[in-house]
């Protein structure tokens, strides 16, 4: 048996074992009117993990609670990219203490990236003894088993792994939407950007087998999914840990052959690994969305080197030219960090210059904050908060203007919109996204949710478009 076959078999066996535990546990919860509440912090991969937790809870017999303080099972799926997110989690955990004292039957679980940090784990053990389950990023699939152990012992159960073992995906999952879904294609990160803690809490890169991914997407399409989002910390690195010679462009090509799948998205792409082959595959496919999220983080080569991004400003700009030459109508979005150590006026102006050259269609912008455990936290020449905020506001002002100008160019265009939802207060106002990832509002019947429809753009706002349905 090859290593690939052995890993696949272990994953199958572990999934089956957890399903058996779910079956055993369900008799304890079914028919009792119990409810759950999950709060997800962080990235799309955390959102996907929460869908799995929801699937398990609903198999056990729980239903979604309207309010957190009405739930019988509360889970926080955490992120540790930014320290203030951690403080929010601790604040929320603290507020649950009195709720549990009044309702001792409720269960509280905390999982995700925060749990992979020893200082966080120590604080939970010392200050938050009312938490019942604590687990990390590598063993989320063991949730049924950990719950079973807690019920048997009535003790806090802590299960944190320092590194990944098998990849287990075939467990219950409840999607937020019936027509679109996220699919994990890989886990972990090998990049070690000096501001980022993800490699320390998500582990090294490891790719799922292509046959597993293709089979999952086929099942999703059979279940009514029109659009998938391929997820990974750096999807461009997909395949490097596989035994066979198989890359991310290879995976995309195979996915485009799945009948019934209409749209393919992916995130996140690292500029240093974005290949000519990927651009070619995107150009030649009518299923791969004309949107690329390509985080630049900074426009100064000096700062990019300090960030350990492994590309220069010139490399990034040349990459953008290559992408737009192949796909002139593509939408480019990015991430930018302001105030990284050493980013003074000259370096910041380099970022503004890059933004004005590329003319992004959108950007997630962040003020740099020290992240304990990363090289950036101990670097010299930390930027004063007042100076960083001034630069941040200046960047936002320029970005807002550029994005609005780009949106104005969409007027009179006819875009194909995947309708995502109807307005809660007015069901005749629909919202959806184009394949270029533009958010569009227009009038229509709520029966169109989940369908792809033509919409003519009639007006533009800074961060969304307004249109009219073509019938």
Q: What is the CATH number of the domain that holds 431?
A: 2.40.50.140
Please check whether residue 65 is in contact with residue 37, taking contact to mean a CB–CB distance below 8 angstroms: yes
CATH code for position 243: 3.30.750.210
User: What is the rounded distance in angstroms from the CA atom of residue 176 to the CA atom of residue 376?
Assistant: 36
Residue 237 contacts residue 202 (beta carbons within 8 Å): no
Whether residue 134 is found in the same domain as residue 85? yes
Same domain (yes/no): 25, 152: yes
Q: Is 174 in contact with 196 (CB distance < 8 Å)?
A: no
Domain containing residue 63: CATH number = 3.40.50.12160
Global pTM reads 0.76
Q: Are residues 152 and 32 in the same domain?
A: yes
- Evaluate whether 109 touches 132 at the Cβ level (below 8 Å): yes
Are 364 and 399 within 8 A, CB to CB? no
Q: How far is the C-alpha of 34 from the C-alpha of 62, rounded, in Å?
A: 5
- Examine the fold and report which residue of 265, 289, 313 is the final residue of a domain before the chain moves on: 289
Per-residue pLDDT 10s for the chain (471 aa) are: 455 555 555 567 777 888 888 888 988 888 899 999 999 887 777 888 888 899 999 999 999 998 998 999 999 998 876 666 778 888 889 999 999 999 999 999 999 888 888 888 889 898 999 999 998 877 888 898 999 999 989 899 988 877 665 556 666 666 778 999 999 899 888 888 998 877 777 778 889 999 999 999 999 999 999 999 999 989 999 999 898 999 999 999 999 999 999 999 999 899 999 999 999 999 999 999 999 999 999 999 999 999 999 999 999 999 999 999 999 999 999 999 999 999 999 999 999 999 999 999 999 999 998 877 788 888 999 999 999 999 999 999 999 999 999 999 999 999 999 999 998 888 999 999 999 999 999 999 999 999 999 999 999 998 899 999 998
Cβ neighbourhood burial of 412 (10 Å; 0-12, 13-18, 19+)? exposed
> With contact defined as beta carbons under 8 Å apart, do 207 and 189 qualify?
no
Instruction: Give the CA-trace dihedral at 293, 295, 300, 306, to 10 degrees.
Output: -160
Residue 370 exposed, middle or buried by CB count within 10 Å (0-12, 13-18, 19+): middle
Tally Cβ neighbours within 10 Å of residue 245.
7
Asked if 388 and 443 sit in the same domain, the reply is no
Residue 230 pairs with which residues in a beta bridge?
A: 183, 266
- Shared domain check, 277 and 307: no
pLDDT at 317: 98
**Same domain? 73 vs 41:** yes
What is d(CA 353, CA 299) in angstroms, rounded to the nearest whole number? 7
CA nearest to 396, candidates 313, 336, 332, 341? 336
Q: How many CB atoms lie within 10 A of CB 40?
A: 20
- Domain ends where: 132, 159, 186? 159
DSSP structure string for 157-173: EEE--SS-------S--
Of 254, 289, 324, the last residue of a domain is 289
Q: Give the whole-angstrom CA distance, residue 161 versus residue 121.
A: 12
Structure tokens at 165: 């073992």
| 427 and 463 share one domain | yes
The reply to whether 300 and 400 lie within a common domain is yes
* Domain contains 345: yes
Whether residue 164 lies inside any domain: the answer is: no
Cα–Cα dist 319/321, whole Å: 5
278 shares its domain with 192: yes
Residue 278 tokens read as 């990927």
For CA atoms 4, 7, 12, 13, give the dihedral sign: positive
Q: Does 197 reside within a domain?
A: yes
Q: What is the pLDDT of residue 120?
A: 85
- The encoded tokens of residue 364 equal 């997630």
3-state class percentages of the chain: helix first, strand second, coil last, to nearest 5: 45, 20, 35
Residue 250 C-alpha from the chain's centroid: 22
- Both 350 and 218 in one domain: the answer is no
The 10 Å Cβ neighbour count of residue 353 is 14
* CA contacts within 13 A on the Cβ side of 65: 19
* Domain identity same for 82 and 134: yes
| Domains contained in the chain, number | 4
Per-residue confidence (pLDDT) for residue 417, from 0 to 100? 98
Place of tokens 């490097």: 240
Say which DSSP state 174 is in.
-
SS3 call for 324? helix
- 332, 251: one domain: no
Residue 122 backbone phi and psi in degrees, to 5:
-60, -40
- Helix or strand (DSSP H, E) at 231: strand 227-231
Give the C-alpha separation, 157 to 149, whole Å.
Answer: 7
Residue 167, domain member (yes or no): no
Q: What is the residue range of 336's domain?
A: 292-409
**β pairing state of 452-460 and 133-135:** unpaired
Q: Which residues contact 366 (CB under 8 A, 6 or more apart)?
A: 82, 335, 336, 337, 338
Collapsing DSSP to helix, strand or coil, 422 comes out as: strand
CA-based R_g, the chain, Å? 23
Is 464:415 a contact under the CB 8 Å cutoff?
no
């Amino acid at each position: 048996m090859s290593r690939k076959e052995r890993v696949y078999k272990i994953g199958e066996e572990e999934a089956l074992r957890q399903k058996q535990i779910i079956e055993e546990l369900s008799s304890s919860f079914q028919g009792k009117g119990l409810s759950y509440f999950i709060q997800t912090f962080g990235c799309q991969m955390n959102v996907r993990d929460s869908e799995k937790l929801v699937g398990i809870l609903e198999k056990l017999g729980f239903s979604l609670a309207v309010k957190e303080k009405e739930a019988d099972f509360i889970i926080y799926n955490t992120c540790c990219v930014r320290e203030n997110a951690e403080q929010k989690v601790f604040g929320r955990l603290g507020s649950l203490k009195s709720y549990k004292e009044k309702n001792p039957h409720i269960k509280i679980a905390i999982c995700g990236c925060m749990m992979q940090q020893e200082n966080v784990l120590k604080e939970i053990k010392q200050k938050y003894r009312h938490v019942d389950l604590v687990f990390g990023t590598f063993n989320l699939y063991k949730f049924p088993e950990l719950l079973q152990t807690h019920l048997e012992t009535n003790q806090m159960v802590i299960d944190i792994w320092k590194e990944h073992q098998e990849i287990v995906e075939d467990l219950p999952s409840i999607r937020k939407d019936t027509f679109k879904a996220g699919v994990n294609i890989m886990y972990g990160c090998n990049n070690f950007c000096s501001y980022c803690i993800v490699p320390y809490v998500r582990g090294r890169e490891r790719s799922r087998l292509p046959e597993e991914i293709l089979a999952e997407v086929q099942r999703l399409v059979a279940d009514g999914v029109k659009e998938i989002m391929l997820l990974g910390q750096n999807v461009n690195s997909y395949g490097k840990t596989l035994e066979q010679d198989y890359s991310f462009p290879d995976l995309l090509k195979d996915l485009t052959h799945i009948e019934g799948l209409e749209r393919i998205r992916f995130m996140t792409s690292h500029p240093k690994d974005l290949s000519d082959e990927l651009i070619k595959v995107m150009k030649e496919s009518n299923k791969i969305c004309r949107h690329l999220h390509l985080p630049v983080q900074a426009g100064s080569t000096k700062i990019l080197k300090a960030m350990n991004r492994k590309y220069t400003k010139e490399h990034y700009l040349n990459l953008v030219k290559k992408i737009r030459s192949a796909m002139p109508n593509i939408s480019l979005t990015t991430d930018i960090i302001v105030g990284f150590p050493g980013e003074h006026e000259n370096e910041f102006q380099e970022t503004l210059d890059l933004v004005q050259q590329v003319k992004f269609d959108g950007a997630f912008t962040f003020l740099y904050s020290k992240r304990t455990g990363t090289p950036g936290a101990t670097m010299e020449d930390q930027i004063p908060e007042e100076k960083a905020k001034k630069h941040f506001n200046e960047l936002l002002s320029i970005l807002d203007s550029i994005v609005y100008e780009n949106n104005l160019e969409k007027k009179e265009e006819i875009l194909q919109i995947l309708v995502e939802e109807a307005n809660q207060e007015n069901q005749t106002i629909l919202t959806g996204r184009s394949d270029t990832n533009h958010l569009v509002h227009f009038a229509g019947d709520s029966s169109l949710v989940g369908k792809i429809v033509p919409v003519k753009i009639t007006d533009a706002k800074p961060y969304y478009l307004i249109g009219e349905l073509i019938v």
